[in-house]
Structure 1
Amino acid sequence: MNSPLNGYAAPDISSMIAPPSPQPLAPVPTPIPETKYFQHTDEVPEGCIVLDEPTEDSFGYPVDMEQVTYVTRQLADGTSVDLPLWVFTPGVDNMPEGEIPEGGWPVIVFVRGSAFHEQNVLDYLNYYVRIAERGYVVAAVKYRASDDAPFPAQMQDCKTAVRFMRTNAERFHANKDRVALWGDSSGGHTVLMAGFTGDTVPDTSDYQPVSAEVKCIVDWYGPTDFAMMNHYPSSQNHHVPECPEGVEIGGVDVLEHPDLNKAASPMTYLSADRPTPPTLIMHGGRDQLVPFNQSCRLYATMRALGKDVTFYKLDNSCHACYGFRSDAALNIVFDWLTNRL
């Protein structure tokens, strides 16, 4: 059998490249912070395209990800379920000018929406990475689905995730005093409920007495008043027992149970005498699933109570798309967080 090297003759490239050192060179010790000063090479083979820019990395920090179980819950049918967090942490080992800030990275506990049903948490993987690149620890939460555990299970799981991150702050190089909530759709509802109630009921005993109070909240197009959703244009019915809101309050008709609707409304937990975390609301003017008015109701209530609230209407954006998957939308959040987290 002929070897593929049989008859192979390497081309002579000696005239095309820089000549080698006569002897092997000793390594040049270069600590990571000094990499930008490493000896420059002037070698340019004919046809090579030389770029003077870019000279700076624009992605931000490299990102590490770890999946952990933050709590095990007992379900009504007697079974148990391990609830995971996916923790995305900025990395500095291979970033010359990167360093962990004093006290650790600020933390964002992120709740992905799912109409309160089973979540596909990692379908927002690109968001988590982009956020962590900016210098935040992101804890992406899996909550109990409403089919297995209705309200207030989701907000309780969110609070437990906050406490878990505080308890394990050193492990993730996180700052336990700089914790924010961010959620979209049903996740927006969840973070509003958890953020507005903090260490008050509805609550759980997990990781107590560690606090579940947070510095601020980012709500992307979350429902806020189930009973009013059908009074504004939508692509679905929001009051029948099998709708997401009906399942969330126990599989009942929303309009027939004002007491349950009130209990599941974030506005119920706002008052002038109880401090409320600063809140950023963002909602699309063409949202086909959660009527834009839901955020208007929350915003008007918070304004009337003198709360720190900021509201952006993405005029032609829909539910989770046509504007929300953009650097512009993320930059609004990052700029807002700069002054509040």
Structure 2
Amino acid sequence: MKPLGRLLPALLACVLLSGCTTYVNAPDGDLPSTLQQPRDLDYRVVENRTYTPSDWPQPLKADIYLPKSSGETRRPAVMMVHGGGWEGRSRDDMTPIAKRFVRRGYVVVNVSYRFAPAYRFPAQLHDLQVARHWIDDHADEWRIDPQRIAGFGYSSGAHLVSLLALVAGTDSELDAPYGGSDTGFAAVVSGGTPADLRLWDSGRLLIQLMDGTEAELPTAYAEASPVFHAHRDAPPFFLFHGSWDDLVPPEQAETFMQALEAKGNHVELLWMNGRGHITSFLFRGSAESAALDFLAREMPASDTGP
């Protein structure tokens, strides 16, 4: 047996350079040949399209990435939502991911949303519900298959995408007045997810989002937590999370996975070992590849009829 001291450099290199991962509920084997995704497709981008109605409190925009394909084929789509603590950043953060996904055959709709504290929760969820309806409204124009639309978010964006997926078509008050069963997703990719706000000591970020502390607003914090809305008809989820994430602790991913599985749902979890919250996003290549394979199984990007 090799001395531990001689193994440490290799272990550290694996963690720091290659980003070793641990895959919970990993699929068996490679994708079948019938599900192999297209690669390196040409695409075009329609930028800065306003998706909100004219009377919305703030005009919000989206960028649409469209694969170039022959004929009148319909493709799956992915709605992407950026992070930033519900208070900042922009959809530009998701641009590299959008480009990778569109080259693999997915229409990508990369959206903006309103920020706290100027707009308190659930304003951000309402924005995404409107965006989700807007995608359906343009399904014919963009040749999208309405039955194959997924959500992809990171950090606060993951919280919003997950919540949108789980309250759609339910009796939750969060589904009204802008939601409905057609605001859900066929699959969800959710990274660094604040899944249970009641267990997350995030201080200022949550106070300005919720307009109060968890002690002051326990019911509101519960209802704003995706884990609270897990139900048996949830879409399949692919979660990824840094094992050293000290902003959104790893327990959030474990709790979320357990809640979904307890209701009988399919969940996959990719641990990015040795990664924190920011580094899990910046060095996310392995998670993106696994997410693409996950989507290929759940809603393949092969062409369907018009």
- TM-score clears 0.5: yes
**Structure 2 counterpart of 1:203, one-letter code:** D
1:100–1:173: 8 Å Cα contact kept in structure 2?
Answer: no
Ranges of 4+ aligned residues in structure 1 off by more than 4 Å: none
Whole-Å Cα distance in 1 between the matches of residues 281 and 114 of structure 2?
A: 29
1:144 equivalent among 114, 125, 129: 114
Could you tell me which runs of 5 or more consecutive residues in structure 2 were left unpaired when the two chains were aligned: 1-37, 300-306
1:135 to 102, 105, 114: 105
Q: Quick one: which amino acid aligns to residue 131 of structure 2?
A: A
Q: Size of the alignment, in residue pairs?
A: 260
Q: Which residue of 2 aligns with 1:96?
A: none
Counterpart position of 2:230: 270
C-alpha distance 287-63 of structure 1, shift in aligned 2 (>3 A): farther
**Structure 1 residues not aligned, in runs of 5+:** 1-56, 93-98, 231-237
Q: RMSD of the TM alignment (CA)?
A: 2.3
Distance, in Å, in 2 between the alignment partners of 1:106 and 1:112 is 20
CA contact (8 A) 1:166 1:210 kept: no
What is the CA-CA distance between 1:205 and the residue it aligns to? 4.9
1:71-150 pair list within 5 angstroms: 71-72=52-53, 80-92=57-69, 99=70, 102=73, 104-150=74-120
Q: Give the equivalent residue in structure 2 for 1:306.
A: 264
TM normalised by structure 1 equals 0.70
Larger RCO, structures 1/2 (Cα 8 Å, 6+ apart): 2
CA shift in 2, pair 1:196/1:101, >3 Å? farther
Structure 2: distance between partners of 1:217 and 1:164: 18
Partner SS for 1:135: coil
Query: Pairwise mapping of residues 33-72 of structure 1 onto structure 2 (< 5 A)?
Result: 59-72=40-53
Q: State the Cα distance separating 1:124 from its structure 2 match.
A: 2.4
SS of the aligned residue for 1:196 comes to helix
Of 269, 284, 289, which residue of structure 2 is paired with 1:331?
289
Structure 1 residues 294 and 209: CA distance shift in structure 2, 3 A: closer
Letter matched to residue 192 of structure 2: Y
Corresponding position of 2:188: 217
Q: For residues 209 and 317 of structure 1, do their structure 2 counterparts lie closer, same or farther at Cα, with a shift above 3 Å needed?
A: closer
Give, as a single letter, the amino acid of the residue that structure 1 aligns with 2:215: L
In 2, are the aligned partners of 1:181 and 1:218 still within 8 Å (CA)?
yes
Deviations 1:290-322 (Å, cap 9, x if unpaired)?
111111111111122211111111111221425
Q: Is the helix fraction higher in 1 or 2?
A: 2
Of 126, 135, 150, the match for 1:156: 126
Aligned counterparts of 1:321 and 1:109: Cα–Cα separation in 2: 23
Q: Which amino acid aligns with 1:263?
A: E
Over alpha carbons, which structure has the higher Rg? 1
